Amino acid sequence: MSAPDRSLVLALRLRDRRRSLGLTQQQVVRRLSGLGITTTNKALSSHEHGAGIDVAKLPEFAAALDCTVTYLLGLTEDPSSWQPDAQLGARSSPSDGRTSAVRQVLDVLEDQIPTAEPFVPAEQAPDARPMPAKSWILGPYPTTH
């Protein structure tokens, strides 16, 4: 997938997700503002029509639209899924550029994910507190059912 294709997928996902939630651009702008992202209706409209988004802001856009970064990037059809669809891997071959492009985006995003070393179970950590929603870059923390 070329860079223009990725931009188009992201643009369409932004617009379609906003519409499926029944939100106006102004409501999304307010949600983004609450997450620390200052933008305008005009800028959001530009993003929805293919203008690039700073990759560092993708987690906030996903949080404002109640979906995952994985969904916005077109890696899954499920807005709540943080894991790419299995079919994506089957459709893309290393030679088509998609795999390396997705890997580059995920490498950039991985640097943004907050980590805590070493892992300490919450019940053993006296100062444990819930992680803010925007700290989990790929969407809601996965739970086991």
Measured CA to CA, the distance from residue 42 to residue 44 in angstroms comes to 5
- pTM here is 0.59
Measured CA to CA, the distance from residue 53 to residue 31 in angstroms comes to 16
- Region of 74 please: left (phi>0), alpha (psi -120 to 50) or beta: left
Kindly give the confidence (pLDDT) of every residue in the chain, 145 residues in length, as a single tens digit, with 9 standing for 90 and above.
555 577 889 999 999 999 999 999 999 999 999 999 999 999 999 999 888 788 889 999 999 999 999 999 888 899 988 888 876 544 444 445 556 666 666 666 666 665 555 555 666 666 666 555 455 555 555 555 5
pLDDT, position 94: 45
- Domains of the chain by start residue, with CATH: 3-84+92-110 (1.10.260.40)
